Structure 1
């Protein structure tokens, strides 16, 4: 027998969410030109920063769909992000096709955190060099909104107009 079938109707009703409206939102639009851009038709992949991408391992294994585009050899890689460049290598000839230990420098320099989004767009690919342009999409709550919300739970969601 369904235990909810005999419960009084008043007990079954969930409280309606109380919506908080955030109006006239002005976020920081002074991001550098290199921060975000629309993707082209070039090969790309995205990932969320996972624990393995950060300390102590600092391992970035590339997805299978990207592995098929890249050389099956160890090649130098340039990661471009926000007007700067980082050198690493891609181990395409190993079972775990990944960036080498220099990925750690990129992760630390860009203050990557668990939950951030990364978009890698292939700019150049040859047997001698691979270059990715990287977008970092922060996973934290925008500070511009913090002062305008109160509690923000599933019962009290935030709505941005």
Structure 2
């Protein structure tokens, strides 16, 4: 069982986070500043190879809420649908500098749905780790030495 921890960020919201110990594939993104207001998330190749090559329903579980999205897997770059991913970002006030950690909890190359548990690390991802952050799985963890 994963032990959740809580932290209050500068926006006064209590955020939950936990160690990734399930052995399931995961990846993270650090949100960068954008010249446009478009929100786009592309899946890294290490995870793309484990997901369907089709457009299927997706769900994100985060902060005791579920978001329904569209997973677009039939393009060269696999991603979430722009509108549904943007809604998730907006409703969670995800901004530049925040990190999102995605843990695959259901789905493989033959799945008709994909599900992710997501942690939002708001104002909690140190700059010195961003430079080292190459982690995308248990085999390639974030090195904090």
Q: Once the 2 structures are TM-superposed, how far is the Cα of residue 58 of structure 1 from its aligned partner?
A: 1.0
Q: Which runs of 4+ in 1 moved over 3 A?
A: none
Q: Within the alignment, does 1:50 sit opposite 2:36 as a pair? A: no
Pick the aligned partner of 1:131 from 97, 115, 124.
115
Deviations 1:73-111 (A, max 9, x none): 111110110000111111111122110021011000000
User: Aligned-pair distance for 1:139?
Assistant: 2.6
Counting matched residue pairs gives: 112
Bigger relative contact order (CA 8 A; separation at least 6): 1
Deviations 1:8-31 (A, max 9, x none): xxxxxxxxxxxxxxxxxxx75x94
Residues 24-61 of structure 1: CA deviation (Å, up to 9, x unaligned): xxx75x946xx211112101001101235x95221111
Using structure 1 for the length normalisation, give the TM-score: 0.63
Find the counterpart in structure 2 of residue 114 from structure 1. 96
Unaligned runs of 5+ in 1: 1-26, 142-161
Q: Alignment partner for residue 99 of structure 1, among 53, 63, 80?
A: 80
SS at match of 1:36: strand
In the alignment, the residues of structure 1 paired with residue 27 and residue 67 of structure 2 have an alpha-carbon distance, to the nearest angstrom, of 18
RMSD between aligned alpha carbons? 2.4
Secondary structure of 1:69's match? coil
Distance (Å, rounded) in 2 between the aligned partners of 1:47 and 1:84: 20
Cα deviations across residues 95-151 of structure 1 (Å, max 9, x unaligned)?
A: 22110021011000000000101100011115211000000001379xxxxxxxxxx
Unaligned stretches of 5+ residues in structure 2: 1-6, 126-145
CA distance, structure 2, for counterparts of residue 119 and residue 89 of structure 1: 18
Structure that is richer in strand per residue: 2
